[in-house]
Amino acid sequence: MAKCEKCGVELPEGARFCPNCGFPVGKMMKEEFKVSSEDLVKKVKDLIKEGNVTKIIVKNEEGRILLEIPVTAGVVGTILAPWLAALGVIAALATKCTISVERRG
């Protein structure tokens, strides 16, 4: 039986989130994508739609963090709007960005 990495509670079969503390279940994987600024907002939206993403970090060409988006279950629509607005501002200033994604698989 798998246990929650954060609180140690035993997890029900097939659980995607810990029923006790809400921590995502599964191994964490990191991915990085280099995108041009005009693709930034679309790429982030696509990543969130994929569903198993827990964090999205947007960096500039020098590797400085511009934005960190914590993605929890149910981050959609209106909750996401301020983040997308912030991404729009970044896209207007930068020419290329790196999107660093943390996933639970």
Cα(first)–Cα(last) distance of the chain, in Å? 17
Of 19 and 51, which CB lies nearer to Zn ion in the complex structure?
19
> Which strand (E) or helix (H) includes residue 49?
helix 37-50
Q: Residue 89 and residue 62: Cα distance in Å, rounded? A: 18
Over the window 2 to 21, marking each residue x when it contacts Zn ion by CB under 5 A and - when it does not, the resulting string is --x-xx-x--------x-xx
Q: Binding to Zn ion by residue 71, rule CB under 5 A?
A: no
Of 4 and 69, which CB lies nearer to Zn ion in the complex structure?
4
Query: Residues in contact with Zn ion, total (CB under 5 A)?
Result: 8
- What is the rounded (10 degree) CA torsion for 19, 25, 31, 35? -30
Least distance CB 87 / Zn ion (angstroms): 30
Q: Residue 57 and residue 8: Cα distance in Å, rounded? A: 27
Of 52 and 60, which CB lies nearer to Zn ion in the complex structure?
52
User: Residues interacting with Zn ion, by CB under 5 A?
Assistant: 4, 6-7, 9, 18, 20-21, 23
